[in-house]
Amino acid sequence: MKDFNRAVEAIWRIESPKVIAGVAHMVHDIGLAEELAQDAFVAALQQWPESGVPGRPGAWLMGTAKHHAIDLLRRNQTLQRKHDELGRQLEVEELSMPDLDAAIEDSISDDLLRLMFTACHPVLSADARVALTLRLLGGLTTEEIARAFLAPVATIQQRIVRAKRTLTEARVPFEVPARSELDARLASVLEVIYLIFNEGYSATAGDDWVRPALCEDALRLGRVLAELMPREPEVHGLVALMEIQASRLRTRVGPSGEPVLLLDQDRARWDHLLIRRGLSALERAEQSGSALGPYALQAAIAACHARARTAEETDWARIAALYDALAQIAASPVVELNRAVAVAMAFGPAAGLELVDRLGSERSLQGYHWLPSVRGDLLAKLGRSREARIEFERAAAITLNERERKLLLERASEMQP
């Protein structure tokens, strides 16, 4: 029985985004759609042990959930007219099922895309978008999301309930935004996926430096989106960035769990399959002919590292130029700091330090441990050990990650007073 439940859970993970999306198309409310999809899942757990798992479990779940939706709409008198309409629509869909598989597939893809845009609607906070996306599109349970973010289950549950309510109250339509809004709304979707990835790639809290499962969840969402929107270069840019970064996951952590920095990593152990996938996604982003967006530029930077067979072979001048381009379309102190690192590598630590020192008064970088950490590194290279030590200690005091703190304190202690 336990095995059976696990098998049904696996089917749920594969099918639930499509079922929720399909039902949301009918009821125009993703919270309600999820409940109806859940009901279908419960029905499956009750009926399948007797009847056996149907040949097309996805179609079964979709059909059951849609019938629940119709029942609900029927009970709701005020929606009478709408339900007649929907009833007809469903009949047409069911009648045409065998012949129009391709058309149905297309409409499922459209609904999935609508679901993605709705779950990532800017009316929601970033935290809410992340939780809702993992739940509705990643097929994760609330417990799994809570575990991934080291948050109490009740907190995540609350967050999801509130997010759904907000969407209903704000009457957010279940649709792919019009061209005029598309860029801004797509940016919100990409941001959510990358937030999920980053939480896995460099955990901001807790004892672990990486949580690979979250990276996999984000990559899966990104790959799905790339299939749904093959003509959007930034989608491929984001996928490229995540594939290439993920290729280093297993080398970013040393044997006792300590972080290993990019230039110290064993490149032979990088995941060359993911690098290849990332480079080809980057190529797709570049093929569009338009100027590269922020994700594609970051992917191009990651690609410079991926292509270098040894750390010494890294094309730092090109990386500095790419950061320059990035700073022009998405200027931020963090980008500037990274540019400073690349400049230091290409043209010497003094040139880099000059750029870093311009950031010294930057408010938004207060509490950002990479600033003192980079400054310490450049000072150390210039032989200014005493100042370097102070910077490493400052960085160690700021970081929230235990492993990182240890690494920084070790560097501080290596500096001769």
Q: Give the per-residue contact string, 349-378, with other proteins (x = CB under 8 A; - = no).
A: ------------------------------
- Residue number with CB closer to other proteins (122 or 259): 259
Q: Which of 26, 73, 148, 221 binds other proteins (CB under 8 A)?
A: 221
The least CB distance from residue 213 to other proteins, in Å, is 8
Note whether 277 binds other proteins by CB under 8 A.
Answer: yes
Site string for other proteins, 102-141 (x = CB under 8 A): -------x-----------------------------x--
Among 54, 177, 212, 333, binds other proteins (CB under 8 A): 212
Per CB under 8 A, the segment of 66-74, 222-230, 285-293, 352-360 that binds other proteins is 222-230
By CB under 8 A, name the one of 210, 214, 285, 396 that touches other proteins: 210
249 makes contact with other proteins (CB under 8 A): yes
Q: How far is the CB of 69 from other proteins (least distance, A)?
A: 24
Residue 344 burial class via C-beta count within 10 angstroms: exposed 0-12, middle 13-18, buried 19 and up: buried
Pick the closer one to other proteins by CB: 141 or 188: 141
Q: Which of 28, 74, 162, 250 binds other proteins (CB under 8 A)?
A: 250
410 binds other proteins (CB under 8 A): yes
Binder to other proteins among 81, 99, 178, 255 (CB under 8 A)? 255
Name which position in 220, 307, 384, 405 contacts other proteins (CB under 8 A): 220
Structure tokens at 254: 């040393």
Least Å distance between CB 230 and other proteins? 11
SS (H, E, C) the chain: CHHHHHHHHHHHHHHHHHHHHHHHHHHCCHHHHHHHHHHHHHHHHHHHHHHCCCCCHHHHHHHHHHHHHHHHHHHCHHHHHHHHHHHHHHHHHHHCCCCCHHHHHHHHHHHHHHHHHHHCCCCCCHHHHHHHHHHHCCCCCHHHHHHHCCCCHHHHHHHHHHHHHHHHHCCCCCCCCCHHHHHHHHHHHHHHHHHHHHHHHCCCCCCCCCCHHHHHHHHHHHHHHHHHCCCCHHHHHHHHHHHHHHCCHHHCECCCCCECCHHHCCHHHCCHHHHHHHHHHHHHHHHCCCCCCHHHHHHHHHHHHHHCCCHHHCCHHHHHHHHHHHHHHCCCHHHHHHHHHHHHHHHCHHHHHHHHHHCCCCHHHCCCCHHHHHHHHHHHHCCCHHHHHHHHHHHHHHCCCHHHHHHHHHHHHHCCC
Q: Which of the ranges 88-96, 184-192, 295-303, 408-416 carries the binding residues for other proteins, by CB under 8 A? A: 408-416
Q: How far is the CB of 351 from other proteins (least distance, A)?
A: 27
The span of 248-256, 283-291, 356-364, 374-382 binding other proteins (CB under 8 A) equals 248-256
Asked if residue 6 binds other proteins (CB under 8 A), the reply is yes
Question: Does the protein bind other proteins through residue 414 (CB under 8 A)?
Answer: yes
Q: Which two tokens stand for residue 154?
A: 């009740």
Q: Is 313 in the site for other proteins (CB under 8 A)?
A: no
Calpha distance 70→73 (Å, rounded): 5
Contact between 216 and other proteins (CB under 8 A)?
yes
As a whole number of Å, the CA-based R_g of the chain is 25
Size of the site for other proteins (CB under 8 A): 33
Strand partners, 259: 253
Q: Is residue 273 close enough to count as binding other proteins by CB under 8 A?
A: yes
Binding site for other proteins (CB under 8 A): 6-7, 9-11, 13-14, 109, 139, 210, 212, 216, 219-224, 227, 249-250, 253-255, 258, 260, 273-274, 277, 407, 410, 413-414
